[in-house]
Structure formats: structure tokens, C-alpha cells
């Protein structure tokens, strides 16, 4: 958040006050520095608005996947055309990641950015419902891809402004929880609407959901956003004169070693993870009966006339991880705050190699559902840790949303390569060899994370104001460092007080 607004509690002189800007902050007085650990809590209305924004935005975007494929099939589109239009949406989202992050960093009002993205998704839904022809559908897919690329970092920026610094991990976990529940609820509701009414009605329903989503956005109070500097010391919520380091230039962000290592690790993770479910679904199809290739790995399970035993199994593969991720996410956020980021990241990154080995050596369909449920750990870890680690890396130099865009681009490239490489390997060396190759990519991601990625949690402990010198140890002359047990005690004490 770049640029300040007048805070109602500002006691500085009028000459010190910058021109008003809607969602940006100045310190409570010209001589005070923000305190990211003892700040006031955002109002319940703002936190409720953020919860509903995550839920409803996920619900709106669920229709731009398998439901679109089925809808276009009913409109007599060929499989090639459907595959191409879905790829156009994915490509638009990937290409927009970095520009969207730059745009959100530059934007004065994050609420207005979120509202614009929601309106764009609503327009895309209406366009698909009204004119299901090639040109309008391509335009709608591009519009939705760009809007999604803008909405994700905007929600992260709003979360950073509303959350207390020591609670950021847990708050990001709640974001993932509401988004996962929104996707699951949307799949059920839209499936019933499509089966009982029409698939066109799905997109009218998605468009109508934009209205409560806008209400949720504007429930987030400006005064809470303006008080962000009382809750956190991240450069994105501070006035420039209170930054502990100059704002990074864009080229410096791209060259940041920790960010580059994290982005490459995420790309390798997606390379080893994204093809596991389609490859396992293909193996299940060959063993237990065919599934429609068009929607093999999506929410097609809610179509009653297509249900078969293999359909139900793959349905469980998709839904169970989402529900488990909703339950795990806040706990993972708290764990990352108490014990550090890298430990939680390693837990999530170790899951795809384990799943690949289990899929390779055990083809029992019932057990494969249990193995796929492990994906909930990875989904929760990525959903929480990507914005949390990026917030650590950009804590002093800013450019939070640009950095999120860089990691999002790396993740998208890894996922796209995974589906292409996984399909090619399955044709050439079979499912067993494909699982082993994907597991190898996941192990590379774990190794890079374990041996090259620094622990970023220490970055958030740097105070915004000059701190008192640490007490020197009389025996070795080194500054004394609080032990992990004391830090955990303080964390639990702050939770009880909150």
C-alpha cells in the first residue's frame, strides 16, 4: 500500500499531514513508530467482510473449469475447441501474474481493486451465459483469468493490512479455509443447478454471487485499513518516512535470492504435483472403466447421468482434500508463526513425492482415495505459506504484491509443464515410470528448500523503530537471543490476551 491517508488519530501538525488517500496510513504521530506486535485488532465487520470475500470469490470462479467444459459440450463445441479455450484462460492468468502484482502495489484503494476484479468475473459469467460462441467465450476466459490474477494479490494485501503481524499466518489459514469451503459448496450447488435447470443457469448464479461479494468488500472498513500501521510493521502498511529500508526497485525484487529460490522451489513442487491426480485418474480409468477425458480431473462428479464407481472415487479425490485443507489451514498458519516457515514448507513439499510412491506401488482404488487426501496438506501449506513467506521477504523493502505475482507465475509455469510432461511420459514409459519421475521432481523441490532456502521468519522480528541494544553476554560478548521456548510462551500469552 503505497501512499498515506490522514488517520483520525493523527496528532501531527497540519504541515506534516500528507494529502488524503483512501486506504493508506500515516503513523499516529509524527514522532511515533508503528508497533506491529501490540496493535489494535481490526473490527469484526472488517474481518467478516474478508471471510465472505474469500468464500464468495471462490464460489464465483468454480464455474470456470469443468462446468464450462460440460456447458460448451452441450453447445456442440468440439473437444479441441474446448481444450483450446480452457488453455486460453490459463495462459491469460499466467501472463497477468506479474503485471497484476505491480498494479495492486500501485493502486491506492485495494477495496476498489477487489471490486473491479469481481465485476470483471461477473461480466465474464454473463458473457458466457448470453453468447456461448467462440469470440465472446474466448474474451470471457481472458477476462476471468486477468481478474483472478488481480483478485488474489488484492485479497493478500487486504489481509496484510487487517491482520496483526503475529497473527498473519493464522489469518491466511482462515482465508484458505473459507476459499476451500466456498469451492466445495459451489461445486455442489452448481452441479445441482446444472442437472435440474441448465448449465447456462450456472453462470447466471455466478454472476448473481457478485452482488454479495461486493457487499463483503465494502464491509471492510476504511478506518481499519488506515490503522494497519498499528498492527504490523510491514513496509506495505507504513508511511515511507518510517521504513527501515528504501523501497526496492522492481529489478531488485526479481533478483532477491530468497524470492528466486522460493519461486523455483514452488515451480518444481508444481511440476511434481499437478500431474499426479490426472495420471492416477487415467490409471483408474483403464482399470475400472472409462471417464470422460474432457473433465477427468474436475468436479464432473455432480452429474447424475454420468456416475459410475470410478466417477465416485475420483470425486472423492477432489472433494476430500478440499475439506481437509479447510480444517488444517489455520493450524498450519499458527505452527508457522511459532516454529518458523521452512519447517511447515518442508511438510507440505514432502507430500507429493510420498503420494507419487504410494500411487506407483499400490493401485487399490479405495486406498488411492486416502493417498490423494494427503494433497490437502500440500494445498493448505501452499495457500498459507506463499503469501506468508513473500510477506517476510518483502517486509523491509516492500513490493509485496509484485513478489506474489512472481511466485504465482513460477507456480503456473510448473503446473503447465507438469500436465504436458506427465501426459507425454505416461504414453512413453507408463504410469509407474511417470509416478517415479514426478516424485523425483518433488524431491528436487524438497532438497532446494531444505538446503538453499533461508528461514524467513526472522525478517518479521525486525522492529520498525530503532530498538534498544541487545544485552551483551559477559562470557563471549555476543548479544543474547531469546530461546524458542520463551518466544512460544509470549506467543501463547498474546493469544490469550487477544
pLDDT at 30: 33
The domain 247-457 belongs to what CATH superfamily?
MFS general substrate transporter like domains (1.20.1250.20)
pLDDT at 332: 87
Q: What average pLDDT does this structure show over 179-203?
A: 80
Cα 202 → chain centroid: 24
Q: What average pLDDT does this structure show over 368-388?
A: 82
Alpha-carbon distance of 391 to 394, in angstroms, equals 5
Which residues 6+ apart lie within 8 Å of 42 measured at CB?
162, 163, 221, 224, 227, 231
pLDDT greater than 70 at residue 268: yes
Q: What average pLDDT does this structure show over 426-446?
A: 87
pLDDT at 192: 77
Q: Are 351 and 378 in contact (CB under 8 A)?
A: yes
- 102's enclosing H/E stretch is helix 79-106
pLDDT at 74: 77
Grid coordinates standing for 11? 496528532
Mean pLDDT of the chain: 75
pLDDT at 423: 75
Alpha-carbon distance of 323 to 181, in angstroms, equals 7
Q: Does the pTM of the predicted model rise above 0.95? A: no
Grid coordinates standing for 226? 488506515
Alpha-carbon distance of 230 to 126, in angstroms, equals 41
What spatial distance separates the first Cα and last Cα of the chain, rounded to whole Å? 26
| 3-class DSSP state of 472 | strand
pLDDT greater than 80 at residue 469: no
**Comparing 287 with 147, which gets the higher pLDDT?**
147
pLDDT greater than 50 at residue 305: no
Backbone φ, ψ for residue 71 (5° rounding): -60, -45
CB half-sphere exposure, 291, CA atoms < 13 A: 30
Ranges 174-178, 236-240, 335-339: which has the least confidence: 236-240
pLDDT tier at 115 (50, 70, 90 boundaries)?
A: very high
Grid coordinates standing for 153? 494479490
pLDDT at 197: 79
Grid coordinates standing for 65? 473449469
Alpha-carbon distance of 385 to 341, in angstroms, equals 7
pLDDT greater than 80 at residue 452: yes
Grid coordinates standing for 246? 528504501
Helices (H), 107-133: 110-130
CA proximity to 459, closest of 234, 260, 243: 234
**Domain definitions of the chain by residue range:** 42-234, 247-457
Q: What average pLDDT does this structure show over 435-464?
A: 80
pLDDT at 365: 67
CA proximity to 402, closest of 150, 231, 158: 150
DSSP letter for 497, please: H
Q: What percent of the chain lies above the pLDDT cut of 70?
A: 70
pLDDT at 288: 55
Ranges 16-20, 314-318, 324-328, 336-340: which has the least confidence: 16-20
Neighbour-count burial for 325-361, b at 16+ CB within 10 Å, e otherwise: bbebbbebbbbbbbeebbebbebbbbbbbebbebbbe
Alpha-carbon distance of 206 to 125, in angstroms, equals 6
Quick: pLDDT tens for 30-78. 333 344 444 577 888 999 999 999 999 988 888 777 677 777 877 888 7
DSSP letter for 25, please: -
pLDDT greater than 80 at residue 460: no
pLDDT at 316: 54
| 3-class DSSP state of 418 | helix
Q: What percent of the chain lies above the pLDDT cut of 90?
A: 17
**Angle ∠(148,398,224) on CA atoms, nearest 5:** 70
pLDDT greater than 70 at residue 133: yes
CA dihedral 277, 60, 112, 236 (to 10 degrees): -20
pLDDT greater than 90 at residue 269: yes
pLDDT at 417: 85
Question: 479 - beta bridge partners?
Answer: 472
- Largest distance between two CA atoms of the chain: 80
Q: What average pLDDT does this structure show over 309-329?
A: 64
Quick: pLDDT tens for 92-109. 888 888 899 889 888 888
Alpha-carbon distance of 398 to 394, in angstroms, equals 5
Pick the CATH number of 42-234 from 1.20.1250.20, 3.40.50.2300, 3.30.450.20, 3.40.50.800: 1.20.1250.20
Q: What average pLDDT does this structure show over 428-434?
A: 83
pLDDT tier at 415 (50, 70, 90 boundaries)?
A: confident
pLDDT at 317: 56
Quick: pLDDT tens for 2-24. 443 333 334 333 344 444 443 43
pLDDT greater than 50 at residue 237: yes
pLDDT at 218: 92
pLDDT tier at 412 (50, 70, 90 boundaries)?
A: confident
Alpha-carbon distance of 415 to 25, in angstroms, equals 38
pLDDT greater than 50 at residue 29: no
- Give the DSSP letter string of 231-255: T---GGGS-GGG-SSPPPPHHHHHT
pLDDT at 22: 39
**Comparing 433 with 227, which gets the higher pLDDT?**
433
**Angle ∠(243,247,250) on CA atoms, nearest 5:** 160
pLDDT at 306: 43
pLDDT at 154: 92
**Comparing 366 with 250, which gets the higher pLDDT?**
250
Amino acid at each position: 500500500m503505497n501512499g498515506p491517508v490522514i488517520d483520525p488519530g493523527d496528532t501531527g501538525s497540519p504541515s506534516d499531514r500528507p494529502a488524503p488517500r483512501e486506504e493508506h496510513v500515516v503513523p499516529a504521530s509524527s514522532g511515533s513508530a508503528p508497533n506491529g506486535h501490540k496493535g489494535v485488532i481490526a473490527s469484526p465487520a472488517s474481518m467478516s467482510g474478508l471471510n465472505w470475500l474469500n468464500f464468495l470469490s471462490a464460489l464465483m470462479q468454480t464455474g470456470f473449469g469443468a462446468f464450462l467444459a460440460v456447458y460448451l459440450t452441450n453447445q456442440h463445441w468440439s473437444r479441441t475447441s474446448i481444450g483450446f479455450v480452457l488453455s486460453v484462460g490459463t495462459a491469460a492468468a499466467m501472463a497477468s501474474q506479474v503485471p497484476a502484482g505491480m498494479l495492486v502495489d500501485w493502486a491506492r484503494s485495494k477495496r476498489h481493486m477487489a471490486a473491479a476484479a469481481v465485476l470483471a468475473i461477473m461480466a465474464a459469467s454473463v458473457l458466457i451465459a448470453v453468447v456461448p460462441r467462440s469470440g465472446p467465450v474466448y474474451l470471457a476466459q481472458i477476462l476471468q483469468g486477468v481478474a483472478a490474477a488481480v483478485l488474489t494479490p488484492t485479497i493478500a494485501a487486504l489481509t496484510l493490512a487487517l491482520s496483526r503481524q503475529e497473527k498473519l499466518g493464522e489469518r491466511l489459514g482462515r482465508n484458505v479455509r473459507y476459499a476451500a469451503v466456498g469451492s466445495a459448496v459451489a461445486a455442489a450447488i452448481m452441479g445441482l443447478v446444472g442437472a435440474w435447470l441448465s448449465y447456462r443457469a450456472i453462470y447466471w448464479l455466478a454472476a448473481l454471487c457478485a452482488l454479495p461479494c461486493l457487499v463483503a468488500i465494502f464491509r471492510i472498513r476504511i478506518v481499519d485499513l488506515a490503522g494497519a500501521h498499528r498492527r504490523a510493521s510491514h513496509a506495505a502498511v507504513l508511511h515511507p518516512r518510517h521504513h527501515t529500508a528504501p523501497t526496492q526497485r522492481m529489478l531488485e525484487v526479481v533478483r532477491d535470492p530468497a524470492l528466486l529460490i522460493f519461486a523455483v522451489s514452488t515451480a518444481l513442487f508444481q511440476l511434481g504435483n499437478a500431474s499426479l491426480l490426472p495420471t492416477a485418474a487415467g490409471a483408474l480409468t483403464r482399470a475400472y472403466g472409462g471417464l470422460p477425458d474432457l473433465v477427468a480431473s474436475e468436479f464432473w462428479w455432480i452429474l447424475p447421468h454420468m456416475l459410475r464407481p470410478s466417477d465416485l472415487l475420483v470425486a472423492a479425490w477432489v472433494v476430500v482434500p478440499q475439506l481437509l485443507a479447510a480444517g488444517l489451514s489455520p493450524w498450519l498458519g499458527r505452527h508457522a508463526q511459532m516454529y518458523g516457515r521452512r519447517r511447515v514448507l518442508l511438510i507440505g513439499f514432502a507430500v507429493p513425492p510420498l503420494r507419487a510412491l504410494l500411487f506407483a506401488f499400490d493401485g487399490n482404488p479405495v486406498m488411492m482415495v486416502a493417498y490423494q487426501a494427503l494433497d490437502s496438506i500440500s494445498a493448505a501449506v501452499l495457500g498459507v505459506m506463499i503469501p506468508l513467506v513473500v510477506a517476510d521477504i518483502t517486509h523491509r523493502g516492500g513490493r509485496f504484491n509484485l513478489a506474489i505475482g512472481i511466485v504465482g507465475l513460477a507456480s503456473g509455469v510448473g503446473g503447465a509443464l507438469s500436465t504436458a510432461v506427465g501426459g507425454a511420459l505416461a504414453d512413453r514409459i507408463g504410469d509407474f515410470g511417470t509416478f517415479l519421475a514426478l516424485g523425483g521432481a518433488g524431491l528436487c523441490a524438497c532438497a532446494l528448500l531444505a538446503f538453499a532456502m533461508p528461514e524467513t521468519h526472522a525478517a518479521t522480528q525486525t522492529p520498525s523503530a530503532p530498538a534498544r541494544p541487545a544485552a551483551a553476554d559477559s562470557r563471549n560478548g555476543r548479544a543474547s537471543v531469546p530461546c524458542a521456548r520463551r518466544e512460544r510462551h509470549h506467543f501463547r500469552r498474546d493469544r490469550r490476551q487477544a
